[in-house]
């Protein structure tokens, strides 16, 4: 088990998300982000399946056919789109993405940026989070407005950089008129 390496990876990720959240005014979310990763249900699985350059949840999934750590994590963290999947009304439309409050969409965006920085290290560019999203976006069950906002932020980051994107988030996305 790679206890120290996993601890450093999740703590560095949490630090990156906290810095990003603070830049846009989400102080509470920055402090509380991903605390469940330190719980035994997630932490020890992460140590066992630690990779260093990708989520250990994928390795657990390969071995078991599911990830117990991910199932635990997504049900406790509102910044994950999977937290917001529910039955549609009418129910014959199946499962659908619910409208996430903007503050959680922003935290999800920052989380994706931080994960890209954490795993790609010196190979990270402002396009990294968008490229990763594009790779799997057809699999995401997202409310149309959530998808539109997330994609707008990812494209803005890729094309205009972090400073301008975070300023836009503070001034437009998280302003009182948008809540």
For 7-17, write each residue's pLDDT tens digit.
999 999 999 99
Q: pLDDT, tens digit, for every residue of 78-113?
A: 999 999 999 998 888 899 999 999 999 999 999 999
pTM of the model: 0.93
Torsional class of 65: left (φ above 0), alpha (ψ -120 to 50), beta (otherwise): left
Residue 58: CB partners within 8 Å, gap ≥ 6?
51, 67
């Amino acid at each position: 088990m790679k206890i120290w390496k996993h601890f450093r990876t999740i703590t560095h990720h949490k630090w990156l998300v906290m810095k990003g959240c603070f830049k846009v005014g989400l102080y509470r979310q920055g402090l509380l982000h991903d605390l469940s990763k330190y719980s035994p249900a997630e932490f020890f699985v992460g140590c066992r399946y630690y990779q260093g350059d990708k989520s250990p949840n994928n390795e657990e999934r390969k071995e078991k056919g599911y990830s117990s750590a991910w199932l635990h994590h997504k049900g406790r963290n509102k910044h994950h789109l999977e937290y917001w999947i529910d039955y549609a009304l009418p129910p014959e439309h199946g499962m659908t993405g619910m409208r996430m409050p903007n503050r959680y969409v922003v935290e999800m965006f920052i989380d994706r940026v931080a994960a890209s920085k954490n795993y790609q290290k010196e190979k990270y560019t402002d396009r990294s989070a968008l490229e990763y999203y594009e790779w799997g976006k057809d699999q995401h069950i997202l409310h149309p407005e959530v998808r539109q906002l997330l994609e707008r932020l990812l494209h803005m980051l890729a094309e205009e950089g972090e400073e301008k994107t975070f300023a836009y988030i503070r001034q437009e996305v998280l302003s009182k008129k948008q809540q």
